């Protein structure tokens, strides 16, 4: 396998159901995709092309090969590296309302025990304790780097909302962009929802046991391990998303959302207006959302 055999990259965004998209494509035998995110053009570039290519499954009987690494959208060097190594590659970008994305990202990190319950201290753009929650939603700035280096017909921008409402049509659109034949469309599409009320260890316990994570990982399917886990697991209660913080975050994203709309030729102002009577993300986060760790 050579670098020229890499046909497509899914480059982000984090918490936008890109894992769902990856698994949907992997269900087709015509597609060769490694399961882990390789992060080659962002974090692992020093490992070299041989390492990168060795991560791909056998390519002999497949029609197309690619990979998903959400860090490519946000990394300031990734676009240059990809353009240099893969000048003809097709890029798939799946985006989500940046305000919703930020809160979902925070909740994922809270489940992992990485952050505390004070949502405002993490998501208020004026004083964020973790810049990633806010910065990862600046899609206009991030995508500009790719549009400056690749022809627009090599970039497909898709949206998280379509996964929720029309998953089959959404997948068909991506497959068409990748040149996959319609007659080979897969009949299996992974379940698009994951119950976030599933009992888990409290964040404090997760922090306590984090050093042993790699040791216990092989035993997670062991019946005894499951019993012990169940004894300590509880439903995670997420902090609500204050309206004041939501509005400040919306205002912060507004210029970038407008830039993104101009860049891709689409009106995205709906992201800046919260419909009356709509349930908040906080009220939905414990019920269902696309694939928990996407």
User: What would the pLDDT profile of 255-274 be if each residue is shown by its tens digit?
Assistant: 999 999 999 999 999 999 87
Going from the C-alpha of 70 to that of each of 24, 36, 287, the distances in angstroms are: 16, 11, 25
In a domain, 294, yes or no: no
Q: Please tell me the distance from the alpha carbon of residue 272 to that of residue 268, in angstroms, as a whole number.
A: 8
Is pLDDT larger for residue 286 or for residue 45?
Answer: 45
Shared domain check, 18 and 90: yes
Beginning with the edge strand found earlier in the chain, give each strand of the sheet holding 31-32 in spatial order.
Answer: 31-32, 64-68, 8-12, 90-95, 155-159
Range of the domain at 224: 203-232
Shared domain check, 191 and 141: yes
**The pair of three-digit structure tokens given for residue 85, joined into one six-digit string:** 């190594």
User: What would the pLDDT profile of 143-163 be if each residue is shown by its tens digit?
Assistant: 999 999 999 999 999 999 999
Overall domain count for the chain = 2
Shared domain check, 86 and 128: yes
C-beta atoms surrounding 225 within 10 Å: 13
What average pLDDT score do residues 186-193 get? 60
Shared domain check, 123 and 214: no
Shared domain check, 211 and 102: no
Q: Which pLDDT value is given to residue 227?
A: 58
Shared domain check, 172 and 141: yes
Label residue 141 exposed, middle or buried (CB < 10 Å: 0-12, 13-18, 19+). middle
Residue with tokens 């919306």: 250
**The pair of three-digit structure tokens given for residue 237, joined into one six-digit string:** 């209660």
Shared domain check, 155 and 222: no
Shared domain check, 226 and 241: no
Q: Tell me if 101 sits within 8 A of 13, measured CB to CB.
A: yes
In a domain, 292, yes or no: no
Question: Residue 39: which residues within 8 A CB-CB, separation 6 or more?
Answer: 69, 71, 72
User: What would the pLDDT profile of 203-241 be if each residue is shown by its tens digit?
Assistant: 555 555 555 555 555 655 567 655 554 555 566 778 899
Label residue 76 exposed, middle or buried (CB < 10 Å: 0-12, 13-18, 19+). exposed
Shared domain check, 173 and 51: yes
Is pLDDT larger for residue 95 or for residue 201?
Answer: 95
């Amino acid at each position: 396998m050579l670098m020229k055999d890499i046909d497509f990259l899914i480059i982000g965004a984090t918490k936008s159901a890109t894992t769902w998209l990856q698994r949907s494509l992997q269900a087709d035998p015509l597609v060769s995709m490694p399961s882990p995110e390789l992060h080659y053009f962002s974090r692992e570039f020093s490992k070299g092309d041989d390492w990168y290519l060795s991560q791909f499954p056998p390519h002999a009987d497949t029609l197309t090969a690619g990979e998903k690494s959400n860090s490519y959208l946000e990394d300031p060097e990734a676009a240059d590296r990809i353009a240099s190594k893969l000048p003809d590659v097709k890029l798939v970008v799946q985006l989500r309302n940046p305000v919703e994305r930020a809160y979902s990202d925070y909740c994922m990190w809270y489940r992992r025990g990485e952050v505390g319950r004070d949502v405002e201290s993490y998501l208020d753009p004026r004083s964020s304790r973790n810049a990633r929650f806010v910065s990862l939603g600046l899609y206009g700035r991030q995508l500009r780097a790719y549009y400056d280096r690749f022809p627009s017909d090599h970039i497909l921008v898709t949206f998280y909302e379509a996964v929720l409402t029309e998953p089959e049509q959404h997948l068909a659109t991506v497959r068409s962009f990748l040149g996959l034949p319609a007659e080979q469309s897969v009949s299996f599409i992974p379940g698009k929802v994951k119950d976030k009320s599933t009992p888990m260890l409290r964040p404090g316990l997760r922090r306590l046991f984090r050093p042993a994570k790699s040791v216990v990982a092989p035993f997670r399917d062991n019946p005894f391990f499951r019993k012990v886990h169940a004894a300590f697991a509880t439903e995670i209660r997420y902090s609500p998303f204050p309206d004041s913080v939501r509005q400040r975050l919306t205002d912060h994203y507004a210029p970038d959302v407008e830039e993104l709309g101009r860049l891709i030729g689409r009106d995205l102002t709906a992201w800046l207006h919260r419909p009356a009577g709509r349930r908040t993300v906080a009220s939905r986060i414990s019920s269902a959302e696309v694939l928990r760790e996407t």
